[in-house]
């Protein structure tokens, strides 16, 4: 039985009187694409924020490759190989699409405490950045300021940025949020190509994407994992159908 | 690598290569002394030196305000610290630049480091306030240094020598020393902004959370920028003390810090060239208008308000807009 | 260090605190509700004093001068809001800082042009001049007690207004989340104007009340402004309660610090060292306090927007 890449143990988080994460335990295995689904308000984004370090859990622990990262700051986790995308596009609007990705590449290639040398001209940064942009279909829009990109393009850029970090685990918070059918299909194709390279935690509402991509699915309800297993197992689970998928079918 | 694929932060002036403006500025500054050689008198030279001294501090502040979005309202404190280093060392007989310059830089860098540690834990208006507080602390410390003049300030017997040679006493030579310090500061900051380091800092201005999720410790990068800006302002202070042969707590007042921000804004934030232009315009306007009336600030105040309301990009913003209109016509 | 000196200085500290509160209240509300850094608040205080001097010269009555000056300060504040500030609410803090800095320059030199640079004075009302005996050997100026009393009265009034009236509730809501209040259909423009005008009046009132004690001169608002900014930062932006507590704290710390720093330091170092270092430490005290508070609580003690 291989060691999980990411293990969440009895994670708990309240905001005032509201319990958002309730004794949550979850394992993500190496190279698997693990989808997390659940109705709005189930605590999915809060979960991602706790894993990436933006929010500190009240109790419980997070282990990454066996190391306890529960108290680690955001940037340290990223340096360990934990990359994430944001539900609301969080690109650098004044930077071009290329420079956004080049910055991500930069974080993985040597020191950034260099005060000299023109970063914009470093082939070592620009080439991998262009490759990542190509992967998500944004190669032609490389020079466009990220703030001027269309919504779907921004979502693609989010993905490219995360990929450029050459992560060991990729946390995707609703990458298809608000994208049209074509864009969604393209993102699904990209993710399918990347499957198996590293672990992915995919939070999504779009069931087509989830069933097309996921190796395993966990269902989150009121801050707890209701059920966890293969797509077929979860679909058949009566509790899940009643609580979540059942509502969807209405 | 084709230039078009470069991910560059340098803005292009409409139709002109990026280096035109700074080249022009520095050419004008370099040739200024020859003008006075023809017209006689050294007034222009001393005004020019003063403008360039403040331009150094303004460029450093642009690094903070324009590129890192750290609105420091206590920048004048570093100028004052550099100046007082010169003054106090002189009073104790250490009159050589080889001693006082490193000390001036070290003191301002140290103060920037210590205060930066605290300031950078805050954001937004709290940051502005706490930098103001530390500026005030420096101001009050200097005001209560009775052995060094306190409120009245301290006269320096003579300008620093350089390795024993009294070269700074020659107005022209001093002018060119200041010129090369400004040129050096400018080129250094340009390189910094274009570097990997600069890219992280500029990114943090746009979206600090995003940048930290990429794996950068934003606090450290901001602290380094803060220390660099402080040290450069210390250089400005060193030159100011030598130029005026006098130091006073007024060098560190919060009004001075405000004036520095105005200089940067006047020229255009985030352009470095703008900081030099802004310093020149502000100080020359001050020279010119104060000849007419002591109360020229009654006019300048509303002008500032108008600039904020209508010309937010400063003079460079105005001229680009104008250039765009002309090239379109 | 005699007890009567200590009591006098504590009262002086309370008086300074109350004064700072009057100024900080307007500042923190404008800041909290409109997210607007108003550095020109200090000159509102100065204008209050100047208007009072001018109206006194016209009417010969302190009361008349007080009422007229309050009206003038309110009018002037509203005028500023209409012409300049209204257009800046959507801009970032740097714009606020520069624009209000420009207003400070304009008014500091403007009053110099109108009234001259020499310090002016406003006579105290006859009834309240002189001192009262608080205890054996302890005389304290009546006017200062009046200032403390009116300050506390206004603080109570403000508390009642903010906690128990509809407008007050809107102000508190606006300080927590202005966009939401606007989305709920409240006329946010009118709310802003009310908050601003009221704040300006408070600052002007502080200026009028202090004028008989201090001299009225250009730039008198500058030091007070800095102190008020320290108050609202320590107290937490948008919080009247925070502003009150911080103002009293700073008033007392600053006053006691200045009076007793040399004596206290003398316990740790020699008398001449204490005399050199004492005044410097005294003036730095409140800034050190602010730095410590911000280090522990980067958003102040009671920020309206929560921690």
C-alpha distance from C63 to closest chain B C-alpha (Å): 31
pLDDT of residue B7: 45
pLDDT of residue A109: 86
pLDDT of residue C305: 67
Chain A residues in contact with B209 (beta carbon < 8 A): 54, 74, 90
Q: Is the dihedral of CA A86, A87, A93, A98 positive or negative?
A: positive
pLDDT of residue B5: 41
Residue A1 pLDDT level (bands cut at 50, 70, 90)? low
CA angle B213, B217, B220 (to 5 degrees): 160
From CA A96, how far away is CA A141, in angstroms rounded? 9
Is the per-residue pLDDT at A177 higher than 90?
A: no
pLDDT of residue B329: 61
User: Nearest CA to C304 among C35, C49, C16, C15?
Assistant: C35
Least confident interval from A118-122, A139-143, B174-178: A118-122
Alpha-carbon torsion angle C90, C91, C95, C97, nearest 10: 50
Prediction ipTM score: 0.89
Query: Count of residues for chain C?
Result: 307
From CA B184, how far away is CA B178, in angstroms rounded? 10
Query: Count of residues for chain B?
Result: 329
* Tens digit of each residue's pLDDT (9 = 90 or more) over A37-93: 988 777 888 999 999 999 999 999 999 998 899 989 999 999 999 999 998 889 999
Q: What share of chain C is helix, strand, coil (3-state, %, to 5)?
A: 75, 5, 20
pLDDT of residue A96: 94
User: Nearest CA to B75 among B65, B90, B67?
Assistant: B65
B195 contacts A119? CB cut-off 8 A: yes
pLDDT of residue B105: 97
User: Nearest CA to C247 among C214, C224, C266?
Assistant: C224
Rg (CA), chain A: 18
Q: Cβ(C9)–Cβ(C171) under 8 Å?
A: no
Is the per-residue pLDDT at A216 higher than 70?
A: yes
Residue B325 contacts C, CB cutoff 8 Å: no
% residues pLDDT > 70 (chain C): 98
In this complex, the residue of B5, B211, B224 whose CB is nearest that of residue A126 is: B5
C298 contacts B126? CB cut-off 8 A: yes
Q: Extract the tokens encoding C170.
A: 């809107």
Q: Cβ(A116)–Cβ(B195) under 8 Å?
A: yes
A119 contacts B196? CB cut-off 8 A: yes
* Tens digit of each residue's pLDDT (9 = 90 or more) over B163-183: 888 888 888 899 999 999 999
pTM of the model: 0.89
Residue A244 pLDDT level (bands cut at 50, 70, 90)? low
B213 contacts A75? CB cut-off 8 A: yes
% residues pLDDT > 90 (chain C): 28
B6 contacts A107? CB cut-off 8 A: no
Q: Cβ(A156)–Cβ(A138) under 8 Å?
A: yes
The nearest alpha carbon in chain B to C289 belongs to B133
From CA B251, how far away is CA B260, in angstroms rounded? 11
Question: Do the chains A and B touch each other, judged by at least 3 C-beta pairs below 8 angstroms?
Answer: yes
pLDDT of residue B10: 47
Q: Extract the tokens encoding C108.
A: 């500091």
From CA A184, how far away is CA A151, in angstroms rounded? 12
From CA C255, how far away is CA C275, in angstroms rounded? 17
The nearest alpha carbon in chain A to B10 belongs to A120
User: Nearest CA to A70 among A152, A112, A9, A135?
Assistant: A9
% residues pLDDT > 90 (chain A): 52
B211 contacts A106? CB cut-off 8 A: no
B297 contacts C106? CB cut-off 8 A: yes
Q: Cβ(C38)–Cβ(C24) under 8 Å?
A: no
pLDDT of residue A247: 53
From CA B124, how far away is CA B215, in angstroms rounded? 23
Q: Which DSSP category does A3 fall into?
A: P
Instruction: Report the 3 state secondary structure along chain B.
Output: CCHHHCCCCCCCCCCCCCCHHHHHHHHHHHHHHHHHHHHCCCHHHHHHHHHHHHHHHHHHHHHHHHHCCCCCCCCHHHHHHHHHHHHHHHHCCCCEHHHHHHHHHHHHHHHHHHHHHHHCCCCHHHHHHHHHHHHHHHHHHHHCCHHHCHHHCEECCCCCEECCECHHHCHHHHHHHHHHHHHHHHHHHHHHHHCHHHHHHHHHHHCHHHHHHCCCCHHHHHHHHHHHHHHHHHHHHHHHHHHHCEECHHHHCHHHHHHHHHHHHHHCCCCCHHHHHHHHHHHHHHHHHHHHCCCCHHHHHHHHHHHHHHCCCHHHHHHHHHHHHHHHC
B305 contacts C233? CB cut-off 8 A: no
DSSP string, A185-232: HHHHHHHHHHBTTBEEEEE-S-HHHHHHH-SEEEEEETTEEEEEE-HH
CB pairs under 8 A between A and B: 117
Chain C residues in contact with B305 (beta carbon < 8 A): 84, 99, 102-103, 106
Answer left, alpha or beta for residue A8, where phi above 0 means left and psi between -120 and 50 means alpha. beta
pLDDT of residue B49: 94
Q: Which DSSP category does C124 fall into?
A: P
- Where do the structural domains in chain C lie, given as residue ranges? 3-296
3 state SS of A171 = strand
Q: What share of chain A is helix, strand, coil (3-state, %, to 5)?
A: 40, 25, 35
Q: Is the dihedral of CA C293, C159, B128, C225 positive or negative?
A: negative
Give, for all 307 residues of chain C, the pLDDT tens digit.
577 888 889 999 999 999 999 999 988 888 888 888 888 899 999 999 999 999 999 988 888 999 999 999 999 999 998 888 888 888 888 888 889 989 998 999 899 989 988 899 888 888 888 888 877 778 888 888 899 999 999 989 888 888 888 877 877 777 777 777 778 877 777 888 888 888 899 999 999 999 998 889 898 998 889 889 889 989 988 888 899 999 999 999 999 988 888 788 878 777 777 777 777 788 788 888 888 888 888 778 887 765 4
User: Nearest CA to B187 among B35, B26, B12, B329?
Assistant: B26
Answer left, alpha or beta for residue B89, where phi above 0 means left and psi between -120 and 50 means alpha. alpha
Q: Cβ(C237)–Cβ(C32) under 8 Å?
A: yes
Chain A residues in contact with B7 (beta carbon < 8 A): 95-96, 98-99, 102, 119-120, 125-126, 129
% residues pLDDT > 70 (chain A): 97
From CA B313, how far away is CA B151, in angstroms rounded? 37
* Tens digit of each residue's pLDDT (9 = 90 or more) over C203-243: 999 999 999 988 898 989 988 898 898 899 899 888 888 99
Chain A residues in contact with B192 (beta carbon < 8 A): 115-116
Architecture, CATH, for domain C3-296? Orthogonal Bundle (1.10)
End-to-end CA distance of chain C: 41
User: Nearest CA to B51 among B178, B148, B192, B177?
Assistant: B178
pLDDT of residue A245: 58
pLDDT of residue A58: 92
Q: How far is C-alpha B255 from the chain's CA centre?
A: 15
What is chain A's mean pLDDT, rounded? 88
CA distances from C163 to C159, C166, C172, C239 (A): 6, 9, 8, 12
pLDDT of residue C307: 40
The nearest alpha carbon in chain A to B210 belongs to A90
User: Nearest CA to B129 among C190, C39, C120, C152?
Assistant: C39
User: Nearest CA to C280 among B139, B132, B108?
Assistant: B139
Q: Cβ(C193)–Cβ(C81) under 8 Å?
A: yes
Question: Do the chains C and A touch each other, judged by at least 3 C-beta pairs below 8 angstroms?
Answer: no
User: Nearest CA to C80 among B174, B208, B302?
Assistant: B302
Residues in chain B, pLDDT under 50: 1-10, 12-14
From CA C223, how far away is CA C279, in angstroms rounded? 16
Q: Cβ(B199)–Cβ(A115) under 8 Å?
A: no
């Amino acid at each position: 039985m291989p060691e999980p890449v990411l293990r969440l143990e009895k994670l708990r988080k309240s905001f005032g009187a509201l319990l958002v994460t309730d004794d949550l335990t979850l394992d993500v295995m190496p190279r698997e694409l693990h989808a997390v689904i659940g109705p709005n308000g189930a605590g999915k984004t809060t979960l991602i924020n706790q894993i990436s370090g933006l929010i500190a859990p009240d109790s419980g622990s997070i282990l990454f490759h066996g190391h306890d990262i529960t108290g680690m700051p955001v940037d340290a986790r990223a340096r360990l190989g934990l990359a994430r995308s944001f539900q609301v596009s969080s690109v650098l609007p004044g930077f071009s699409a290329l420079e956004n990705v080049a910055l991500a590449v930069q974080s993985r290639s040597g020191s950034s405490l260099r005060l000299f040398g023109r970063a914009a001209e470093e082939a070592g940064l620009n080439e991998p950045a262009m490759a990542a942009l190509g992967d998500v279909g944004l190669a032609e829009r490389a020079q466009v300021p990220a703030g001027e990109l269309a919504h779907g393009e921004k979502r693609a850029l989010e993905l490219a940025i995360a990929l450029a970090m050459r992560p060991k685990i990729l946390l995707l918070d609703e990458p298809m949020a608000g994208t049209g059918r074509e864009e969604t299909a393209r993102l699904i194709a990209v993710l399918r190509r990347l499957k198996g390279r590293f672990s992915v935690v995919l939070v999504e509402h779009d069931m087509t994407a989830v069933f097309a991509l996921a190796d395993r699915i966990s269902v989150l309800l009121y801050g707890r994992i209701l059920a966890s297993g293969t797509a077929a197992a979860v679909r058949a689970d009566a509790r899940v159908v009643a609580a979540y998928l059942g509502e969807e079918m209405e | 690598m084709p230039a078009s694929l470069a991910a560059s932060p340098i803005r292009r002036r409409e139709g002109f290569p990026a280096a035109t403006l700074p080249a022009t500025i520095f050419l004008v500054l370099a040739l200024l002394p020859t003008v006075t050689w023809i017209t006689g008198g050294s007034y222009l030279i001393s005004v020019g030196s003063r403008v360039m001294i403040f331009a150094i501090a303004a460029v450093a502040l642009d690094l903070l305000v324009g590129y890192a979005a750290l609105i420091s309202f206590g920048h004048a404190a570093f100028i004052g610290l550099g100046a007082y280093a010169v003054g106090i060392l002189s009073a104790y007989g250490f009159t050589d630049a080889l001693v006082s310059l490193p000390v001036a830089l070290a003191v301002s860098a140290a103060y920037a480091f210590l205060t930066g540690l605290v300031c950078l834990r805050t954001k937004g208006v709290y940051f502005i306030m706490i930098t103001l507080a530390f500026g005030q602390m420096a101001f009050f410390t200097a005001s209560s240094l009775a052995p060094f003049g306190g409120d009245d300030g301290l006269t320096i017997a003579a300008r620093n020598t350089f390795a024993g040679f009294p070269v700074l006493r020659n107005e022209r030579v001093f002018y060119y020393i200041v010129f090369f310090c400004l040129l050096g500061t400018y080129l250094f900051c340009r390189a910094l902004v274009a570097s990997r380091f600069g890219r992280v800092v500029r990114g943090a201005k746009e979206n600090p959370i995003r940048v930290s999720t990429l794996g950068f410790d934003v606090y450290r990068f901001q602290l380094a920028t803060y220390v660099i800006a402080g040290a450069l302002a210390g250089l400005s202070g060193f030159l100011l003390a030598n130029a005026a042969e006098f130091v006073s707590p007024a060098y560190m007042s919060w009004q001075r810090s405000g004036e520095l921000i105005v200089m940067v804004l006047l020229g255009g934030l985030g352009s470095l060239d703008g900081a030099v232009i802004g310093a020149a315009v502000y100080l020359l306007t001050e020279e010119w208008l104060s000849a007419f009336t002591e109360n020229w600030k009654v006019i300048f105040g509303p002008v500032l308000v108008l600039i904020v309301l209508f010309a937010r990009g400063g003079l460079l913003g105005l001229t680009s807009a104008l250039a765009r209109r002309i090239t379109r016509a | 260090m005699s007890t009567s000196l200590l009591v006098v200085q504590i009262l002086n500290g309370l008086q300074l605190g109350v004064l700072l509160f009057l100024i900080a209240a307007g500042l923190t509300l404008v800041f909290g509700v409109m997210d607007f850094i108003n550095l020109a608040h200090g000159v509102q205080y100065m204008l209050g004093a100047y208007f009072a001097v001018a109206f006194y010269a016209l009417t010969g009555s302190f009361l008349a001068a007080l009422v007229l000056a309050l009206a003038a300060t309110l009018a002037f504040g509203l005028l500023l809001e209409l012409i300049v500030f209204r257009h800046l609410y959507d801009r970032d803090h740097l714009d606020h800082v520069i624009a209000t800095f420009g207003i400070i320059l304009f008014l500091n030199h403007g009053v110099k042009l109108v009234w001259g640079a020499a310090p002016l004075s406003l006579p105290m009302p006859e009834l309240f001049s002189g001192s009262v005996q608080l205890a054996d050997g302890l005389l304290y100026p009546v006017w200062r007690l009046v200032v403390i009393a009116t300050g506390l009265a206004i603080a109570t009034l403000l508390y009642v207004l903010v906690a128990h009236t509809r407008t007050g509730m809107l102000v508190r809501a606006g300080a927590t989340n202005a966009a939401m209040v606007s989305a709920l259909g409240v006329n946010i423009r009118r709310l802003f104007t009310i908050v601003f005008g009221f704040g300006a009046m408070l600052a002007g009132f502080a200026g009028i009340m202090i004028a008989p004690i201090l001299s009225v001169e250009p730039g008198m608002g500058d030091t007070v402004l800095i102190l008020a900014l320290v108050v609202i930062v320590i107290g937490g932006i948008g919080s009247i309660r925070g502003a009150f507590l911080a103002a009293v704290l700073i008033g007392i710390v600053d006053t006691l610090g200045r009076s007793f720093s040399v004596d206290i330091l003398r316990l740790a170092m020699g008398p001449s060292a204490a005399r050199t270092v004492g005044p410097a430490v005294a003036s730095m005290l409140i800034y050190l306090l602010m730095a410590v508070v911000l280090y522990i609580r980067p958003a102040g003690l009671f920020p309206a927007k929560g921690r």
